[in-house]
Structure 1
Amino acid sequence: MRFLARSLSGLLLLSVTLGLLALAGSLVQRAVQDRLARAPFVPPARERVFAVNVITARAQQIAPVLTVFGEIRSRRTLDIRASAAGTLVTLAPDFREGGDVKQGQVLLEIDPTQAQSALDRAEADLADALAEARDAERGLVIAMDTLTASRDQAGIRERAFDRQTQLVERGIGSATSVEIAELAAAAARQSVLSARSDLAQAEARIDSAATALSRARIVREDAARDLADTVIRAGFDGTLSGVTLVQGRLLSENEVLAQLVDPDALEVAFRVSTGQYTRLLDPDGRLLRLPVEVALESFGSALTAVGEISRDSAAVGEGLTGRLILATLGRAQGLKPGDFVTVRVQENPISDVISLPATAIDAAGTVLVVGPDNRLSVMPVTIERRQGDAVLVRGPDLDGQEVVTERTPLLGAGILVRPNRAEAAEAASVATEVIALSPEQRARLVAFVEANSFLPDAVKTRMLGQLEQAEVPAEMVQRLESRMGG
């Protein structure tokens, strides 16, 4: 009986279980059918809005700055060479690398022994030439007197011959006397010819003595100049460079000993492209005297100087392009020849141009402007100059438009944007309110910040630094007091 009751109970539980499973399956089937039959729910689409940084385009007159690199040079550089060979006997204390010398200062002296000996010999030869000239002059006077005496004697002989001839014609004299008188006259004439020859030789001696005297004087001047060349002096005020001398060294003639550089006569040489060169010319094709600024920049510090363009190179140079421009510098304190510097040339101002960031323009020469409905539109522009990270452009109806400063592939015509205006952000930062705290209020706020263990150390340090100022941002004070419950 007990067995039959347990069997009937198990059968009842099994029937109930099967019925519940069947009911659950039916409910699931109806739910799936209802889900499949229901229309899909599509949420309403929302247009995506992009935040962009914009700047208001303002047309103005801007002077472009041409930035290139150049090299500092000296307009006056003199090679100091040994004008004579010999041993270096004297060296000035300032004759060293970087030494400053004055014009006319003695820099070094070469052993003058040989030059002095040559000068002494030249002076002795000059004295001999002077003596020879004086002797020649005396010989000329004697030759002239001898010629005069010979002519007088020849006249007497001629008159005696004429007298003997007249006596023979009268029948008084003899033929022998006439012949003797004629021979005496001929001898007198021969004596005149000899005297004239001696006079010519005396005159030639005078010319030869004058020539020898001139040669002796030239040799003496050369010897004196060679002696003076043993002393080398500074040609102008400047600084010495490339000095490698020591006293006692044997120098050869024309050997380069150092360079004398004028530190106050500096110029900068820089090369520009042909297109840049055309912007530096006036309508007549002459180079403009534009102002120039050079800077030797290194680790936050810089040596600067100003000047103006003076000239350009006469030829391009083999294997080079563009033009080499030279600008004369004014006071260039600290700059040295050979420095590699940054050169900034201020060009003539350009009217009605707009300065935009280089990131605002694409390769096609267009910009994106924000319309009244905050939708973007494309506007073409003409690039006038590129100034580092900025570009000077012109465009029709661009003045007053809000231009997107940073182009991305996601932006284009018709895109809805939320402009972030730099002017508004600047005005908000300027309008930040600051207040002065009383000593008690300041001490209470400092104590609260120091006791607050939830603040990071960096934030706590920054806030304590602001609380130590005379004026504290009102927003920070209000935030701290609200947390204090005051």
Structure 2
Amino acid sequence: MRFLRRSLTGIFLLSMTLVLLAWAGNTVRSAVEARLGQEPRSFAQREREFSVNVLTLAPQSIVPELTAFGELRSQRTLDLRSATGGIVRHASDALVEGGAVTAGQLLLRIDPVEAEAALARIRANVQDAEAELRDAERALDLGRDELAAARAQAALRDQALARAVDLQARGVGTAATVEEAELAASSAAAAVLTRRQSIASAEARIDQATTGLARVRIDLAEAERNLAETEVIAAFDGTLSDVTISPGGRVTANEMFARLVDPSMLEVAFRVSTSQYARLLDGAGNLTPAPVSVALDASGVNLTALGRITREGASVGTGQTGRQLFAQLDAAPGFRPGDFVTVRIAEPALDDVALLPATAVGSDQMILTVDADDRLQPVPVDVLRRQGDDVIIAAGGLAGLTVVMERSPLLGAGIKVRPIRPGVIAEETAQMITLDPDRRARLIAYVAEGQMPDEVKARIIAQLEQEEVSFETVERLESRMGS
């Protein structure tokens, strides 16, 4: 009996469970059918506006600026070398790395003992050569006197021969006397010839002595120069670098021991592309002396100097491109040879052009302009130069247009925008509105069903539940609901 009662109770409970499940399923089915039978909700569609920064395009004359990088050099650099070898006996206190020297200052003195001894020997040789020349001149004078005496003797012998011949013709003299006079005259003529040969030898001796004296005088000048070259003198005002010598050291002939650099005569060498180089040429194809500005950023301290382009490289160079240019600097305090600097070159001025931010021009060479209805219209432009974050465009026919300063993928033709002009501060005052119950409920339901973080949902719902709600918030939510 008890088993039967328990069985009936179980069957009753099972039946009730099945009834409840059927009733719940029917309720869900009815709710779904009612939901599906409702008309879809529709919300007012609002056109989205984008705030854009704009400017008014105004034609003007602009001097484009070309930027390059270069290295400073000194136009006057001298390698200091020792013309003779020896031990350094004296070195100037300024003969150190970075030492400042003046023109004519003694930098180095090499031991002059050998040069002085060689000079003394050459001077003795000069004295010997001068003595030899004087002796040859005296011998020539004596030879000339002897020649005059021999000629006088020959004249007397000729007169004696003439008398002997005359006496023989008158029958007074003899043939032997005439022959004796002829022999004497012949001997006198031979003596004259001998004296003439002596004079010729004396003249040749003078020539040789003169040549020998000239040679030893050349040796003397060379010895004096060698002695003078034991002292190294600064040729101009400058600063020393690459110093490798000190007192007591030994140098060899033609050894470089320092380099003298003039830091006041600086130039900058820089390289530009071929197209940039072509813009620096005049109508005749010659390089223009364009002004340049050189800047060196040294730990936040910007050193600047001005100058002008003076010349260009003779060749491009192996593995190089473009052109190498040189610009001479004016006053350049703080700069030193070897500094890596930024060079800005002023190109010839461009007329009827406009300066725009580089972000205003797209890759298709188009800009976006704002028409009278605050809608965007693309306009093609001719980009003449790009310098830094700006571009220079030809402004012909574009004057007065309102141009978008920053393009983005969201902007395109026909899109409505809210222009913001530079220099105008937009006072955005939050506009508060009062929502009707239905509108408030729709917004709260949309936020609650949306896929936003819980804290964001709570914050927005709290704002919507207030009596007055920000118009911007409502507009943003309704624009999303209608999208």
Q: In the alignment, which residue of structure 2 is the partner of 1:449? A: none
What are the equivalent positions in structure 2 for 1:191-340 lying under 5 Å apart? 191-340=191-340
For residues 170 and 281 of structure 1, do their structure 2 counterparts lie closer, same or farther at Cα, with a shift above 3 Å needed? same
What are the equivalent positions in structure 2 for 1:436-451 lying under 5 Å apart? none
For residues 185 and 35 of structure 1, do their structure 2 counterparts lie closer, same or farther at Cα, with a shift above 3 Å needed? same
Q: Partner letter of residue 103 of structure 2?
A: Q
Root mean square deviation of aligned Cα: 2.6
Q: In 2, are the aligned partners of 1:380 and 1:395 still within 8 Å (CA)?
A: no
For residues 22 and 111 of structure 1, do their structure 2 counterparts lie closer, same or farther at Cα, with a shift above 3 Å needed? closer
* Secondary structure of 1:423's aligned partner: coil
Work out whether 1:106 is the aligned partner of 2:129.
no
Q: In the alignment, which residue of structure 2 is the partner of 1:78? A: 78
* Secondary structure of 2:80's aligned partner: strand
Q: Partner letter of residue 318 of structure 1?
A: T
Q: Partner letter of residue 46 of structure 1?
A: R
For residues 140 and 24 of structure 1, do their structure 2 counterparts lie closer, same or farther at Cα, with a shift above 3 Å needed? closer
For residues 170 and 236 of structure 1, do their structure 2 counterparts lie closer, same or farther at Cα, with a shift above 3 Å needed? same
* Secondary structure of 1:73's aligned partner: strand
* Secondary structure of 2:423's aligned partner: helix
Q: In the alignment, which residue of structure 1 is the partner of 2:353? A: 353
Higher mean alpha-carbon deviation, 236-245 vs 168-177, is at: 168-177
C-alpha distance after superposition, 1:30-70 (max 9, x if no partner): 65545444443343433332222222222111111111101
Q: In 2, are the aligned partners of 1:111 and 1:230 still within 8 Å (CA)?
A: yes
Q: In 2, are the aligned partners of 1:381 and 1:396 still within 8 Å (CA)?
A: no
Q: In 2, are the aligned partners of 1:88 and 1:250 still within 8 Å (CA)?
A: yes
What are the equivalent positions in structure 2 for 1:378-457 lying under 5 Å apart? 378-425=378-425
Q: Partner letter of residue 299 of structure 2?
A: F
What are the equivalent positions in structure 2 for 1:22-33 lying under 5 Å apart? 32-33=32-33
C-alpha distance after superposition, 1:368-425 (max 9, x if no partner): 1111112111111111111111000114532222222222222211122222322313
For residues 381 and 61 of structure 1, do their structure 2 counterparts lie closer, same or farther at Cα, with a shift above 3 Å needed? same
Shift of 1:324: 1.4
For residues 303 and 21 of structure 1, do their structure 2 counterparts lie closer, same or farther at Cα, with a shift above 3 Å needed? closer
State the distance in 2 between where 1:63 and 1:428 align.
37
Work out whether 1:374 is the aligned partner of 2:374.
yes
Q: In the alignment, which residue of structure 1 is the partner of 2:3? A: none
For residues 315 and 428 of structure 1, do their structure 2 counterparts lie closer, same or farther at Cα, with a shift above 3 Å needed? farther
* Secondary structure of 1:178's aligned partner: helix
Identity of aligned residues (%): 51
Higher mean alpha-carbon deviation, 102-111 vs 296-305, is at: 296-305
Give structure 2 stretches of 5+ with no counterpart: 1-12, 429-483
Q: TM-score, normalised by structure 2?
A: 0.81
Q: In the alignment, which residue of structure 2 is the partner of 1:162? A: 162
Work out whether 1:126 is the aligned partner of 2:126.
yes
Q: TM-score, normalised by structure 1?
A: 0.81
Q: Partner letter of residue 143 of structure 2?
A: A
* Secondary structure of 2:181's aligned partner: helix
For residues 166 and 18 of structure 1, do their structure 2 counterparts lie closer, same or farther at Cα, with a shift above 3 Å needed? closer
State the distance in 1 between where 2:318 and 2:15 align.
109
Q: In 2, are the aligned partners of 1:290 and 1:346 still within 8 Å (CA)?
A: yes
Give structure 1 stretches of 5+ with no counterpart: 1-12, 430-486
Shift of 1:134: 1.0
| Number of corresponding residues | 418
C-alpha distance after superposition, 1:245-279 (max 9, x if no partner): 11111111110111111111111111111111111
* Secondary structure of 1:391's aligned partner: strand
State the distance in 1 between where 2:90 and 2:225 align.
19
